[in-house]
Amino acid sequence: MGLFGRRKTVFVDADILVIGGGMAGCGATYESRYWGRDLKIVCVEKANIERSGAVAQGLYAINCYMGMQWGENQPEDHVRYARNDLMGLVREDLGYDIARHVDSTVHKLEEWGLPIMRDPKTGRYQREGKWQIMIHGESYKPIVAEAARKAATEVYNRIMVTHLLMDAKQANRVAGAVGFNVRTGDFHVFRAKAVIVCAGGASHIFKPRSVGEGMGRTWYAPWSSASAYALPIQVGAKMTQMENRIVLTRFKDGYGPVGAYFLHLKTYTQNGYGEEYEKRWYEDTKALVGDYIDRHPVPTCLRNHAILREVAAGRGPIRMVTKEAFQDPHKETVGWENFLGMTIGQAVVWASQNIDPKHINPELTTSEPYVMGSHATCSGAWASGPEDYAPAEYQWGYNRMMTVDGLFGAGDTIGGTAHKFSSGSFTEGRIAGKAAVKYVKDMKNGQPQVSEQEYRDLEKLIYQPLENYRIGRNEIVAGTVSPSYLLPIHGLQRLEKIMDEYVGGISTNYMTNGVLLERGLELLAMLKEDMSHMGAEDLHSLQRTWELHHRLLASESVTHHTLFREETRWPGYYYRGDHMKLDDENWHCFTLSRYDRNTGKWEMEKAPVYHIVD
Ligand SMILES: Cc1cc2nc3c(=O)[nH]c(=O)nc-3n(C[C@H](O)[C@H](O)[C@H](O)COP(=O)(O)OP(=O)(O)OC[C@H]3O[C@@H](n4cnc5c(N)ncnc54)[C@H](O)[C@@H]3O)c2cc1C
């Protein structure tokens, strides 16, 4: 124990442990308290819930609101929309479940102080598009966090959770989690009856377009480090649709969002010569995906596809035509404010590059791929569905429980349910929280047991990189390259390069094939071997090290899934060069994986897609 003698071990007992206090985590914490008045509800967050997660900077729109009170949309409409956008493959039971509850979440947010814009004529919420409503959302996250703070028994900020703990007595049952305080270094052991993972999506898996001094400027939050996937994967939870990474068309260099521009400002795109180009690629796309190209709205991936083809044909760059809309002072204001409350970096990039969108049509580009379950893709854990709506095959207990007992998830964590966004993620957190309370209450005295051996072994493993650095550092007199250890930034860049070149990143124009994927897996395995030689010079580097572990495991999962699905289901997100067409006959299904931490092996299988909504 000498090595860790100065470090405290902090034990926390909880009924429900919520990991990650972003949108879903705050929803889970809030709702757990509503149903579990007498329970101990603990939320643990690696940053500070006040400003953490993908909504940290604020948002300008809530992208998932039905408007049922005004008869605008019904939950079934949203299921059809998400299914269409995902080229037919969504968990309709889970999507429906969110859609039927999401309006009540939005009404709560307004009650708690979130300013939602209203249409002066109708008095209804101001629509940006069919599903989006506009907000003054700079303080969106603090408002949501306040509700979670008041609901939680305790919130632990600045704790990076690295591993889940399993029940010593009953196989396949979760028992808690461990992590460390990124400021003090204290080791935390959380013992819990139910755990809800809400740890966000994954950026920096693929090499980003912004490198060097700009590498922190990615579209998805740079601190979304794949814990949402790695934590369940490590303990053998089944994952689904991990191949379904997302590529975003965004303003170049700042990743500024385009939704308000297209939907509210009614801007449109042109190629470098000022021509319309989407129609030109209609036949080409139809040959790949059949009549999915005729669906309305055109699936997001297929719009990317037209951009990629047009640029590859030598007619780039693609530009957003803003010059017309920006002549209207109201639209000009909306255009700028859209960034100021959400992606201020885009405004700074334009200022620094002499781009005034009133006079210059700004460039768009496609981003590097991200892995996430709440936006226009649906990677994540395979979860049990709602009792009243899910087909029997999708139900094995409690709503949003994964294939590990007592382990729940929400938001980016849960797979198969695209287009939840901020409001849907909070709503799914609420659904998971309610189900977790039921799980805990049903458990009575059979609570899980944590093994001291397990968490002490993990403690040693977690802090080892500090020790590797302390000893290895003596072998070099300057610089960062050591014969004995690998720094997290080196490992991260190696991971991003492998994923980029072998698994369909920007440098191959999102193209991969079976041969590349097999080689990618070999290189990922070599990186995994080297992970025991990570060196961390301080607690910050230690956090980076564990983020890298999580990103690496999620990347392995993405690669296995991409290899397994022998078709190109989402052209514009990625291409299997050896299976260039969508193949509904063989692949109108979900892909599932399960990782065995004892053998390091992955098992893949297919699961049926049930179309519940006509
Ligand atoms: C640029 C951008 C623009 C967007 N625009 C919109 C929009 O206009 N409208 C809209 O409705 N939605 C929008 N979204 C989507 C929305 O932000 C997400 O859908 C939502 O935040 C997902 O919720 P979540 O709880 O799953 O993840 P997050 O909100 O990201 O929360 C995850 C939390 O987990 C924490 N965490 C991660 N790892 C660990 C760990 N190991 N231990 C402890 N804590 C951990 C993180 O710090 C974070 O607080 C946007 C997202 C981005 C990135």
> pLDDT for 207-255, tens place per residue?
999 988 888 888 888 999 999 999 999 999 999 999 999 999 999 999 9
Report how far residue 500's alpha carbon sits from residue 498's, in angstroms, rounded to the nearest whole number. 5
What is the sign, positive or negative, of the torsion defined by CA atoms of 320, 324, 325, 329?
positive
Query: For residue 481, with 0-12 CB atoms within 10 Å meaning exposed, 13-18 middle and 19 or more buried, which class applies?
Result: exposed
Structure token pair of residue 232: 């369940």
CA of 145 to the centre of ligand 1 (A): 13
List, in sequence order, every beta strand (DSSP E) within 141-231: 154-156, 159-166, 174-181, 187-197
Pocket around ligand 1: residues whose beta carbon is below 6 Å from it? 19-25, 44-47, 52-55, 59-63, 160-161, 198-200, 219-221, 223-225, 227, 257, 343, 374-375, 411-412, 421-423, 425
Index of the ligand 1 atom closest to the CA of residue 52:
49
Looking at the DSSP bridge assignments, the partners of residue 225 are: 202
Which position has the token pair 């009540």?
A: 104
483-to-475, 495, 535, 543, 546 alpha-carbon distances in Å: 8, 19, 11, 22, 21
Report the chain (614 residues): mean pLDDT per 10 consecutive residues. 71 98 98 98 98 94 97 98 98 98 98 97 94 94 98 98 97 97 98 98 95 85 95 98 97 91 92 96 97 95 97 97 95 89 88 95 97 96 97 95 98 97 98 98 88 97 97 92 95 98 98 98 98 97 98 98 98 98 98 96 98 96
C-alpha–C-alpha distance, residues 614 and 79, integer Å:
10
> Three-state DSSP class for 590?
strand
For the chain, how many helices (H) and strands (E)? 16, 19
The best mutation among 60, 413, 425 to test binding of ligand 1, ranked by most ligand atoms within 8 Å of the C-beta, falls on: 425
In this structure, what token pair is assigned to residue 326? 């920006």
Residue 528 · residue 391 · CB < 8 Å: no
**CA 441 to each of CA 32, 37, 192, 249, 396: distance values in angstroms, whole numbers, following the listed order:** 12, 12, 13, 46, 17
Cα angle at 338 between 105 and 331, to 5 degrees? 115
Q: Report the C-alpha gap between 459 and 473 in whole angstroms.
A: 22
Question: How far does the centroid of ligand 1 lie from the alpha carbon of residue 585, in Å?
Answer: 35
Angle at the Cα of 527 from the Cα atoms of 526 and 529, rounded to 5 degrees? 65
Ligand 1 atom closest to residue 22's alpha carbon, by position in its atom list: 31
Q: pTM of whole model > 0.85? A: yes
The owner of tokens 């299914």 is 83
Say if residue 317 is preceded by a cis peptide, omega within 30 of 0: yes
pLDDT in tens, 121-133: 999 999 989 999 9
> What distance in Å separates the CA atoms of residue 21 and residue 199, rounded to the nearest whole number?
8
Atom of ligand 1 nearest to the CA of 199: 34
Distance between CA atoms of residues 358 and 548, nearest Å: 42
**Confidence (pLDDT) at 1:** 43
**Residue 388 gets which letter from DSSP?**
T
Ligand 1, pocket-test mutation among 55, 62, 262, most atoms within 8 A of CB = 55
Give the number of the atom of ligand 1 that is nearest the alpha carbon of residue 20.
34
**Res 264: pLDDT:** 86
Report yes or no: 36 and 153 within 8 Å, Cβ to Cβ: no
